[in-house]
Structure 1
Amino acid sequence: MAYTIPITIVIFLNLILISKAARNLNPIGNQDESSLVSQVGICSLLIETQGYMCEEHKVTTKDGYILSLQHIPGGRDGTKADKPPVLLQHGVLMDGGTWVLNSRDESLGFILADGGFDVWIANTRGTNFSRGHTSLSPSDPAYWEWSWDELVAYDLPASIRFVHDQTGQNLHYIGHSLGTLIAFSAFSKDQTLNMLRSAVLLSPIAYLGQMSSTLARAGADAFLGETMYWLGVHEFAPRGEAVAGLLSVICMNPGSDCSDLMTSFTGPNCCVDSSMTDRFLEHEPQSTSTKNMIHLAQMIRTGTITMYDYGNANDNERHYGQATPPVYDMGSIPKDFPMYLSYGGADELSDVQDVKTLLESVKDHDQDKLVVQYKEDYAHADFVFAVNAKEVVYDPVMTFFNMH
């Protein structure tokens, strides 16, 4: 698909918009929230209000990031979990609230808890309640020097290991979107698998080269993330001026429809209640690093799944010992590890053709260890917010868990 924004105009507009934003930027996310986190969190905001017990935990990664982790130890009726632990991992620009934003009967976190599972909810670095660090502040550019490579290397193993050590059990894993990408990448390096029973991957992402989301592809093709980074905007804060300015540039493209941003980014979600939009905007979207967005854009432009590309052979050599970034080989995922993949025909981020590329790369997986579900009318947000997701996706997922 061709895009009609002249690159010189894009860069010129970006220089005006982002330079102004970088000087004045003070989004909520840049505040020191240590006192706020001690008083409120996802437990008090979204879980206890629905009648569930909830515990807030802190996990420190090997590179010093302090992550929040919520634990729902039982069902709403007060019964204690009698099934294995399950770790839920959200997607990009989201946090753990993803899993408990809908009603009790529609949110996967609550459905699992009421089904007897021991529920744990992860939150990646940079989100509202995972902004701590042993030595850095979110106002320091160095705090944001990471991409999803670091989520693979540090955040995911730290969260899985914490739940494993706390419960003394191997756990099930559920990821959505970016939560699937970091899982696939970790599995391809045989990381964390010794602590897992199985993995459920909703809107699975490993390849992005055929992504059909007009807004996401326009941003990637125009190198908008790189422009932000070059101009010193290291935090990608969706509610901040810098991102708003970039979005306005994208929306000037005649091929972009910004009247419904969720649909424009994710595809036409069939089954998300319209009232969810307001509730969603009360808590999401949330910050990530600009470098993370650049890494995702690299995947869109190249169609490959590699580590972050530093843009030249010398820098790649310095970081990796080779001129090009190392590849995450999906074919290296152990063939006997149980996986459940669920994807949608209307999803414009986890595009059907990209999922087919992923499935081709794992074609030698043991047939009795791989379940693939296809929902023709589901788009990206349906897998976490659809009013009928319990019957369509979550009940089969719990049956899959019970088998493993």
Structure 2
Amino acid sequence: MILHNSMATSLFLMSLLMLFLDSNPCTALSWRNNSLVDDIGIPCPVSPHPFTMCKSEAEAYGYPCEDHKVTTEDGYILSLKRIPHGHDTDNSTGDQKTRQPILLFHGLFVDGVSWLLGTPEQSLGFILADGGFDVWLANTRGTNTSRKHTSLSPKDPAFWDWSWDQIAEYDLPAVLEFVYHHTGRQKVHYIGHSLGTLIILAAFSEHKLLHLVRSAVLLCPIAYLSRTRSDLTRLAAQMFLAEAVYRIGIHEFNPVGKVAAQLLAKVCGDPKIDCHDVFSALAGPDCCLNKSTTCAFMLHAPQPTSMRNLIHLSQMVRSEGVRRYDYGNAKENMKHYKQPHPPLYNLSSIPTHVPMLLTHGGQDFLGDVPDTRHLLKTLVRNHDSDNIEVQYLPDYAHADFVIAYNAPRLVYEPMVDFFQRH
């Protein structure tokens, strides 16, 4: 059985390798405006130690940083970081009792440090802290700092037996409730990127967490994936027809992020290959990344996730709706859902009073424009007009919203203005 699971993983990684090697190493990522000012062919320097969010990022720039532990209902022990105020307390706006809490929830294959990879003038986490907010950074189960459990070891197959359903059902409420109670029962502003948008939409569609969330900003909202332009994502979805392996009784889910990271390191170690093409192959040609931030990102990602999580996402590529994980046969689905097919997350049922800002890019292959417009039609049609805003950036792709050099002006300033109005 382990052989079959390893074969599925190998096929997926082979598809990654073929696409990366097929990329043109001479093509700059920012082909529209030549924003990459450093030499493209020079590989990123090797990092001798993994990123530690507080020590190497926040505290290195003079920001206070706290490390909290949050235990989910199903036993996962998550790392939750906090930057309670800006690096200069005397110049900070407000105090800790009046600062509005904000939770930042990362996307797939990364963790909370993705919000801190640039300078204080470029990184959203630092910008919000300097802007008077109480900043919290989530780290989902399976990532490097959230790999503990009350009874399971990461070496146990059961540790990896989850998809984003469980992140939405357990990780998200556990973290939100912790922030809510730790900050004097203040409602929390929420910012999600990619997978971080999918889980909050799923929760809202079931009318959950509304008592904890003050407003929600969705960067590259992910819900419908059937029209994705990412060849890599489509190929991976087809490879995960090997999910049939699960359907015949395979229950061992090894974390794929670690293996993918090793492959990525080999590929990026070849001076003939431009590692920036990795971004383009997966998520679209980002317009506005600089070399140093991209290198920091590549040294930090990909983070581990579960095989079942990737299978669930691949199911979404082949489906028109947003459903819970499909166990592959009526008997298993009946056992988990009391119906032969996995239930839909009814996104049209999201309450119309929830303040939401959705921002997406024209070059994003994952949050593809047709899929995102389908989501927007679902949400905007009945939503209170005063409580929903949409921003479209035609040159932006997936990573631009988190690490682009001009995101502070184009994305973060409107976001802070939105928070101040809600």
Partner of 1:87: 103
Measure, in 1, the Cα distance between the counterparts of 2:239 and 2:188.
41
Q: Distance in 2 between matches of 1:228 and 1:282?
A: 32
- Give the 5 Å matches for 1:76-155: 76-78=87-89, 79=92, 80-81=95-96, 82-155=98-171
Give the Å deviation of 1:233: 5.7
* Percent identity over paired residues: 51
Q: Deviations over 1:153-198 (max 9, x none)?
A: 1000000000000002111000000000000000001111101110
Conserved 8 A contact 2:51-2:300: no
Whether the aligned pair in 1 keeps the contact of 2:161 and 2:251 (CA below 8 Å) is no
Contact 2:161 2:252 in 1 (8 A): no
Q: How many Å separate the matches in 1 of 2:386 and 2:401? A: 24
Q: Does 1:368 align with 2:386?
A: yes
Give 1:265's aligned residue: 282
Partner of 1:288, secondary structure, is coil
CA pair 336-48 structure 1, distance change in 2 beyond 3 A: same
* Distance of 1:170 and 1:241 partners within structure 2: 38
Distance (Å, rounded) in 2 between the aligned partners of 1:45 and 1:264:
30
Structure 1 equivalent of residue 196 of structure 2:
179
1:14 Cα shift?
Answer: 3.6
Contact 2:194 2:221 in 1 (8 A): yes
Q: Equivalent residue for 1:73?
A: 84
Equivalent residue for 1:58? 69
Aligned to 2:256: 237
Match of 1:160 in 2: 176
Residues 1:12 and 1:52: Cα distance change in structure 2 (over 3 Å): closer
Q: 1:3-402 maps to which residues of 2 (within 5 A)?
A: 14=7, 17=10, 41-78=52-89, 79=92, 80-81=95-96, 82-168=98-184, 169-223=186-240, 226=243, 234-240=253-259, 244=263, 260-362=277-379, 363-402=381-420
Indicate if the aligned counterparts of 2:232 and 2:282 stay in contact, CA closer than 8 A: yes
The AA in structure 1 aligned to 2:340 is: A
Give distance in 2, aligned partners of 1:191 and 1:43.
Answer: 31
- Match for residue 33 of structure 1? none
Seen in structure 2, the aligned counterparts of structure 1 residues 173 and 219 have a Cα distance that, compared at 3 Å, is same
Would you say the 8 A contact 1:306–1:326 is kept in 2?
yes
Question: Which consecutive unaligned segments of at least 5 residues does structure 1 have?
Answer: 1-10, 22-38, 249-256
Report deviation, 1:103: 1.1
1:44 CA displacement:
1.4
Opposite residue 58 of structure 1, the aligned amino acid is K
Contact 1:235 1:287 (8 Å CA) reproduced:
no
The residue that corresponds to 1:31 in the other structure is none
1:15 to partner: Cα distance: 6.7
Distance across 2 between alignment mates of 1:384 and 1:117:
18
Partner deviation per Cα, 1:282-323 (whole Å, 9 max, x = no partner)? 221100110000000000011220000001111101110000
Q: Which TM-score applies when normalising by structure 1?
A: 0.85
Contact kept, 8 Å, 2:359 with 2:390, in 1: the verdict is yes
1:369 to partner: Cα distance: 0.5
Do the aligned partners of 1:173 and 1:198 also contact (CA within 8 Å) in 2?
A: yes
Q: For residues 159 and 241 of structure 1, do their structure 2 counterparts lie closer, same or farther at Cα, with a shift above 3 Å needed?
A: closer
Distance in 2 between the 1:369 and 1:161 partners? Answer: 23
Distance in 1 between residues matched to 2:194 and 2:263, nearest whole Å:
23
Q: C-alpha distance in 2, partners of 1:199/1:172?
A: 6
* Cα deviation 1:125-169 (Å, max 9, x = unaligned): 000000010000000000000000001110000000000000021
Partner amino acid for 2:375? Answer: L
- State which drifts further: 51-60 or 72-81: 72-81
1:339-366 superposed Cα distances (whole Å, 9 cap, x missing partner): 0000000000000000011011111111
Deviation at 1:224, TM superposition (A): 6.0
- TM-aligned CA deviation for residue 237 of structure 1: 2.7
- Pick closer, same or farther for the CA change 1:210–1:73 going to 2, 3 Å: same
2:8·2:239 contact (CA, 8 Å) conserved in 1?
A: no
| Deviation of the 1:17 alpha carbon | 4.5
Task: State how far apart, in whole Å, the 1-side matches of 2:5 and 2:135 are.
Answer: 48
Give the 3-state SS of the residue equivalent to 1:49 in structure 2: helix
Query: How far apart are 1:45 and its partner, in Å?
Result: 2.5
Give a deviation string over 1:100-147, Cα, whole Å, max 9, x none.
Answer: 011111100000000000000000000000001000000000000000
